[in-house]
Homo-oligomer: A and B are copies of this chain.
Amino acid sequence: MKKKNAKHNPNHKKNVKFFRNKKKSRNKKKKEEVFGIGQKIINSIILALEEDDKVYVRKIVEGLSEYDLASLIENLPFSLRMKLVEILGDKISPDVFPELNEVVQEQIIDTLDESQIVNIANELDSDEVVELLEHMDDEEQQSIIQKLDPELKHQVTSSLSYPEDSAGRIMVREFVCMPDDWTVREAKNYLLSDNEEFPEDFYTVFLTDEKFRPTGEITLDKLLRAKANEKLRDIMNGEIVPISVQTDQEEVAHMFREYGWMSAVVVDAKGRLVGVINIDDVVHIIHEEATEDALHLSGAEEGDVYRSVFDIFKSRSLWLTTNLFATIVASSVVAGFQDIISSLAVIAVLMPIVASMGGTTGNQTLAVVVRALATKELTSRNTWRMILKEFMVGLCNGMLFAVLMGIITYFRFPEYYMIAVVIGVAMLLNLAIASLAGILIPLVLNKFKADPAISSGVFLIAITDSGGFFIFLMLAKLMLF
Mark out the residues of chain A between 441 and 481 whose CB falls within 8 Å of any chain B CB in the assembled complex: 461, 465, 469
Q: Mark A186-214, 1 if CB is under 8 A from B, else 0.
A: 00100110010010111100000000000
A355 interface hit (Cβ, 8 Å): yes
A31 interface hit (Cβ, 8 Å): yes
Contact B316 A382 (CB under 8 A): no
A131 → B minimal CB distance (Å): 15
Q: Is the interface of A mostly helix, strand, loop or mixed?
A: helix
Q: Give complex CA distance A258, B219 in Å.
A: 25
Of A8-16, A142-150, A340-348, A414-422, the stretch lying at the interface with chain B is A340-348
CB contact under 8 A between A300 and B225, given known A283-B286, A349-B338, A375-B291: no
Q: Give complex CA distance A298, B438 in Å.
A: 12
Mark out the residues of chain A between 297 and 328 whose CB falls within 8 Å of any chain B CB in the assembled complex: 297-300, 302, 304-305, 309-310, 312-313, 316-317, 319-321, 323-324, 326-328
In order of increasing CB-CB distance, the 7 nearest A-B pairs are A290-B290, A298-B367, A348-B348, A294-B294, A338-B345, A29-B259, A2-B260
Q: How many residues of A contact B (CB 8 A)?
A: 128
Q: From B298, B335, B347, give the contact of A363 (CB < 8 A).
A: B298
Q: From B31, B280, B378, give the contact of A241 (CB < 8 A).
A: B31
Contact A365 B300 (CB under 8 A): yes
Which chain B residue shows the least CB distance to A289? B290
A372 → B minimal CB distance (Å): 5
A396 → B minimal CB distance (Å): 4
Mark out the residues of chain A between 208 and 245 whose CB falls within 8 Å of any chain B CB in the assembled complex: 219-225, 237, 239-241
A32 → B minimal CB distance (Å): 5
Which chain B residue shows the least CB distance to A284? B257
Q: Give complex CA distance A355, B359 in Å.
A: 13
Contact B239 A256 (CB under 8 A): no
A213 → B minimal CB distance (Å): 15
Contact A29 B348 (CB under 8 A): no
Contact B195 A221 (CB under 8 A): no
A400 interface hit (Cβ, 8 Å): yes
Q: From B200, B324, B371, give the contact of A291 (CB < 8 A).
A: B371
Which chain B residue shows the least CB distance to A366? B298
CB contact under 8 A between A320 and B360, given known A241-B34, A280-B262, A294-B370: yes
Contact B357 A323 (CB under 8 A): yes
Contact A290 B294 (CB under 8 A): yes
CB contact under 8 A between A364 and B30, given known A257-B287, A320-B357, A345-B341: no
Write 5 A-B pairs (CB below 8 A) sorted by A numbering: A198-B221, A262-B280, A300-B363, A342-B343, A352-B355
Mark out the residues of chain A between 347 and 396 whose CB falls within 8 Å of any chain B CB in the assembled complex: 347-353, 355-357, 360-361, 363-368, 370-372, 375, 377-378, 380-382, 385-386, 389, 392-393, 396
Contact A305 B386 (CB under 8 A): yes
Contact B353 A346 (CB under 8 A): no
Of A114-122, A267-275, A401-409, the stretch lying at the interface with chain B is A401-409
Which chain B residue shows the least CB distance to A360? B323
Contact A297 B294 (CB under 8 A): yes
Q: From B77, B258, B331, B370, give the contact of A350 (CB < 8 A).
A: B331
Q: Give complex CA distance A30, B241 in Å.
A: 9
